[in-house]
A and B are shown apart, each in its own frame.
Chain A
Amino acid sequence: MESNGYSIVLEDVSKDYDKSTNVIKNMNLKIYPGELLVFLGPSGCGKSTTLRMIAGLEDPTGGKIIINNKDSRNLNNKQRSIAMVFQDYALYPNMTVYQNLEYALKVHRVPKEERKQRLEKIMESLNLSKYKDRFPAELSGGQKQRVALGRGMAKKTNIFLLDEPLSNIDVQLREKARDQLLQLHNQNGQTILYVTHDQQEAMALGDRIAVINNGIVQMIDTPENVYHNPSNLFVAKFVGSPQINVIQVEYNDSNLITLDGMKLISNYKNIVQKDKRLLLGIRPENISISEKQETESIPVKIDAVTDYGKFKQLTIKVSPEVNLKALTPSWNSNAATAYMKFDQDCILLFDKNTGTRID
């Protein structure tokens, strides 16, 4: 089944609850049919509000939302063809698992036989057959989440909205749940919008990620680009763990020099910049550390070593003002000093005031 999804376009959408506070500010967004787009951002950034507006639960105070090339204001819920999974799952506590899945179909008079067939398949694939006669109160968090997912699937809609559906279940179960979701996406080809504040989840799931902050889409792109090629400092800082290192530098004759005078990079490519002062971002895994001095490597002090098993994180002091974190697969030395080198291709430069990328 190819491309069962509807496209969604947001045109200058804004939302304020009272006249003064803008939750969403003139948001423009194009979501392709059948893609899995993740809204990623800190809590209160407006990502859930955007989702709720697409779902029709809130009216935008400005702009319009276009679903499948039609203005959503002229669509009823059926024409929108939307299913949604809520953070608290919103299972009807007075109905069993089966009744929860069946309810909307029953109200909309889907024939009983078809209902049964459809639901049995879904319960099978989500491992729910055993629990079909249980009430939500008798289910674990993971089971509830699966019921909620199943209820959304049962409707066979063209758009599937998920609002932090995995934030209430155990970490161990999340990976499995993510796989289930991807499988579902591959099978049905619905357009999926997925809201999360968890960057790892966003990376694992999204065809594209829309990073949102303060009601503004900061960047929308593939996980790879969001990580390696962030459009601004917020995106760079929000995505990646441990966080990206940010150093105040001056650009001087194609050299990048820290404020206390240490030359970090020489012969850097030419950039056009009025202000000499910039912010340099470098992800911890792009700093290589070695015990031996190499050309252009910089001597540093090693303050701490944190062992994460898979890799080690070094806290290093470059100069009194500059402390960095670096990741390395192995570090067995006890030496207090070492030599550091930046991977020049991975250096990100940001405007000091606006935080936008300038390289």
Chain B
Amino acid sequence: MQTNRKSLVWHIPLLLIVLVIILPILFMISNSFKTLHDSYNSILSLIPSHPTLANYITLNHQINLIRVTLNTFGMATLVTLGKISTGLLAAYAFHNFKFHGKKIVYFIFIATIFVPFTTIMIPNYLVISKMNLLNNMLGVALPQMCDAAGIMLFLKAMEKVPTSLVESARIDDIPERKILMNIIIPILKPNIISIGAIFFINSWNEYVWPTLILKDKGSFTLPLALQNYISSEGGTNFPLAMALATIMIIPPLLIYVIFQKYILNSISSSGLK
């Protein structure tokens, strides 16, 4: 009993952290349903006294909300599919083949995780503009379609598949691409879904690279559109910005609700060596 009371005391700081982390999100959602006036006068009330959809309607007048959402969705989908396919192929090569220089190639791949984006952004900007892909989703997606961290996650997942499965298939003369498609990928389905979910969420939230490539408002993604509502000089219309942010957090939140267990497992495994 004593230990129980002791552990109860430890819950207090933890619950405080939960509060600090979660309350801003709840206020954000609440404010998005408040009028500008209410948001100033009843700033500390979590339930809007006069709930209104006005902010969402205004938002839809000011920016092409559907277009921006579709832009974001398209870009994130493209990046996710790209990272999954390149990652699975590369992980398969590293896991199931012996070849000269494998260690070096693997090291170079992993080292790319440590390349800061500022080191590559100027040449990449030049490449994308040379390819005439400025203001284009493909220009945003293309440089992100391979992710060494993703390769590492897929590799970790593959290491859990018994090697005898691949060996057995090889003795049976199954072509490698069929081993990957018919055996490895079906077995790794949960991992692919959770790693894909992580890819999608990250890409959905991506801000830095799109700001360099997307200058035309018609090509904006949600984070860029939201940034446009935040004024550094003050005078931000917060209920409006929060309405946009609320729309923005729904897809990641939904994905998290559905795949929470898998996502957390993948995150956990990424740290363990």
Contacts and interface: CB of A to CB of B under 8 A. Distances in A.
Interface of A: 52, 55-57, 76-78, 82-84, 86-90, 92-94, 103-104, 107-108, 155
Contacts of B170: 56-57, 77
User: Which of A56, A87, A94, A104 has the most B CB atoms < 10 Å from its CB?
Assistant: A94
A94 B187 CA distance: 6
Given A86-B167, A107-B178, A93 B172 contact: no
Contacts of A88: 162, 164
B54 to A, nearest CB: 52
22 contacts: A55-B167, A55-B171, A57-B170, A57-B171, A77-B170, A77-B171, A77-B173, A78-B173, A82-B171, A84-B168, A86-B164, A86-B168, A89-B164, A90-B167, A92-B187, A94-B186, A94-B187, A104-B174, A107-B172, A107-B174, A107-B175, A108-B173
B173 A56 contact: no
Nearest to A148: B168
Contacts of B183: 92, 94
Contact of A56 (B165, B171, B174, B187): B171
B162 A90 contact: yes
A83 B172 contact: yes
A109 B183 CA distance: 18
B202 interface: no
Contacts of A103: 172, 174, 182
A183 to B, nearest CB: 23
A84 B171 contact: yes
A77 B162 CA distance: 21
Interface of B: 162, 164-165, 167-175, 178, 182-183, 186-187
B165 A155 contact: no
Contacts of A57: 167, 170-171
Contacts of B165: 90, 92
B168 A90 contact: yes
Q: Which 3 A-B pairs have the closest CB atoms?
A: A104-B172, A90-B164, A94-B186
Contact of A104 (B162, B167, B173): B173
Contacts of B168: 84, 86, 90
Contact of B171 (A83, A94, A107): A83
Nearest to A84: B171
User: Which of B170, B171, B186 has the most A CB atoms < 10 Å from its CB?
Assistant: B171
A50 to B, nearest CB: 15
B133 to A, nearest CB: 39
A48 to B, nearest CB: 11
A84 B169 CA distance: 10
A93 B172 CA distance: 17
Given A55-B171, A77-B170, A107-B175, 13 more contacts: A57-B167, A76-B173, A77-B172, A82-B171, A86-B164, A88-B164, A89-B164, A90-B162, A90-B165, A92-B187, A94-B186, A103-B182, A155-B172
A57 B98 CA distance: 11
Contact of A93 (B167, B171, B178, B187): B187
Contacts of B187: 92-94
B237 to A, nearest CB: 53
Contacts of A82: 171
B157 to A, nearest CB: 14
A8 to B, nearest CB: 15
A83 B173 CA distance: 10
Contacts of A84: 167-168, 171
Contacts of B172: 77, 83, 103-104, 107, 155
Contacts of A76: 173
